[in-house]
A and B are shown apart, each in its own frame.
Chain A
Amino acid sequence: MTESSDIAISLKRVTVRLGGRTILEDLDLDIPAGQVTAVMGPSGAGKTTVLRLVTGQLKPDSGEVWIGETRVDQLGGKALGRLRRNIGVLLQNGALFTDLTSFDNVALPLREHTRLSESLIRRIVLMKLEMVGLRGAAQLYPSELSGGMKRRVATARAMALDPGIMFYDEPFAGLDPISLGVSLRLIRDINAALGTTSVVITHDVREVAKLADHACIIADRKLVATGTPDELAASADPLVRQFMQGEPDGPVPFHYPARALDEELMRRGEGR
Chain B
Amino acid sequence: MSNATSHTGMTAPLRELGRAGLFLLTAFSRMRFGPRQLAEILRQVYFAGVRSLVIIVICGFFVGLVLTLQTYDTLTRFGAADAVSTVLALSLFRELGPVLAALLFAGRAGTSITAEIGLMRATEQLDALDLMAIDPMERIVQPRLLAGLIALPALVLIFNLTAIVGGIFFAVFLMGSDPISFWANMQSSVELMRDFGGGMFKSVCFGFVAAWLAVWFGWSARPTSEGVALATTQTVIATAIAVLVLDFILSAFML
Contact = CB atoms under 8 A, between A and B. Distances in A.
Contacts of A109: 132, 134
B127 A57 contact: yes
A89 B134 contact: no
Interface residues of B, number: 11
A79 to B, nearest CB: 11
Interface in A105-131: 108-109, 111-113
A252 interface: no
B125 interface: yes
A113 B133 contact: yes
Interface in A150-177: 154, 157
Residue among B124, B127, B128 with most chain A CB within 10 A:
B128
A256 B134 CA distance: 40
Interface in A37-84: 55, 57, 80-82, 84
Contact of A112 (B123, B128, B134): B134
B131 interface: yes
Contacts of A87: 131
A7 interface: no
B16 interface: no
Contacts of B128: 89, 91, 95-97, 154
A241 interface: no
A85 B133 contact: yes
Contacts of B123: 93, 95, 98
B130 interface: yes
Contacts of A81: 133
A95 B134 contact: no
A57 B133 contact: no
Nearest to B128: A95
A55 B134 CA distance: 13
Contact of B124 (A55, A84, A95): A95
Given A93-B124, A95-B123, A97-B125, A108 B132 contact: yes
A82 B132 CA distance: 10
Contact of A84 (B36, B125, B133): B133
A191 interface: no
B133 A82 contact: yes
B134 A108 contact: yes
Contacts of B132: 84-85, 108-109, 112, 157
Contacts of B36: 111
A242 interface: no
A95 B125 contact: yes
A87 B132 CA distance: 8
A92 interface: yes
A261 B133 CA distance: 51
A142 to B, nearest CB: 10
Interface of B: 36, 123-125, 127-128, 130-134
22 contacts: A55-B131, A57-B127, A80-B133, A82-B133, A84-B132, A85-B132, A87-B131, A89-B128, A91-B124, A91-B131, A92-B124, A93-B123, A93-B124, A95-B124, A95-B125, A95-B128, A96-B128, A98-B125, A109-B134, A111-B36, A113-B133, A157-B132
